[in-house]
A and B are shown apart, each in its own frame.
Chain A
């Protein structure tokens, strides 16, 4: 019974971690075809901004988290305008040498990986130069829940709850709002969307901003439980990456399902081997197998099964 509870908590932990890590990345990858290897560093921005908001500006934690997310979102928009779409450099280029200087990174998967990795290097090192090797942390709120001889941080339960909220909110935005419709139209067929009057440039910019904001939110949420170092983004990156790709084309459902599956694998192995390291390894191996055997990701697989079912006998 106790072990079952342990397992349940480990699962919630893994699930929340994967979903929150992946949310922002999934949106950017799914919609813009850009792989943001600086995603971990966006989380860093959110975490640091939140921490500073508390330690330097004395804001209460929830407010600080909002601040952290917003800062990251704005930063993301700045990045989008300069590096991803090349808007600013090209604007400069048009006025100086009369031509575009760079091409947008949309749908250039390999190039976007390399470029954003460069960005992440700059960000991590800048953080180290500006703020040193670590900064003062924010304490974990809420205390613990006790059961048997174990106790579990209540805050981590909160995180699990928030991760579900994020999924629900994303689903709502995608399917129920005008903005969401525009986004899905652009995702499906950019040319047609443009022809129908959708400002695809602005959609991309806002989407990247939202994805960055979500990354910032993740950083903000995890700030109380992590050690604040410039490299804190690393632990999120691979899991996020893997969850996005294993999830497949459907942004919300894919993230939810891969969070569930990968979280379950990780939690089970962690429970059995008593080692989070092996849990992590198991998660990564499971992801490799998923990529090999389910080339469209989980939701891609579901779609294929559904269409095959449609074909009838």
Chain B
């Protein structure tokens, strides 16, 4: 019961952080005004005494951005937790099997060619990027299966790393040779939540929710996998099916996230560890806890990136590590000594 309450409290805290991040920014908008603006936008209430610019900033710029950061933070953390368990490697993360390298290459190709797919329109770049990201992971898995029929974790990680470096090398070459689009490529690779709109949130939400829900149906298998592959086999887990399925779902979560916001690291690596510190190793708790902790952590990192030196914007990828590393050390050592 105690852990149940912990989870409820975490959920409440998590969501209130999201609301708080909406209050802060270049224009401070107090919670009362937020309600006012939401009433105006959602229920068509009159916008007395408030500037339409503040309303636009909150509704069209800040909120979609904060929600996007929250969703991506959650998704990356969940997939990080799963990857660490499946590969039994505390350093594994959502990016281990080359998702981000592949997605970045896909994005670079769209930027360089100016490609627009008729069915994807404005979303061509994220679509192509996620397809490339997913394909890279499937190639990595396919190669790992050829090298090592029983697909040991070491093989998967090694093949993933090598393929990742290989794809990154192509990306570096492409970037170096394309001076005309250097700015777009470099900025895309740095990752950012800037310029995200509700239409992006609307596309990302169902994909990420589906991925997380499917993963949460497999928590029992993940628990067994953490004890090692022999135990998992003897417990009747069909490794050759479950492992690719779990990794594929992680790739879906990460690939979708990277495709929309670029590669933003660190959160996916540390949030699962923090979640395990607080809630123990059972995946029934680790997965929701990772989602509930990763979301606000990313939303806060993004808040810091757009407010600390406002009007200047800092790269969010640097902020996640700058505030994440001390937070991680605090949680880890406090719990250990306590």
Are these two chains actual partners, yes or no?
no
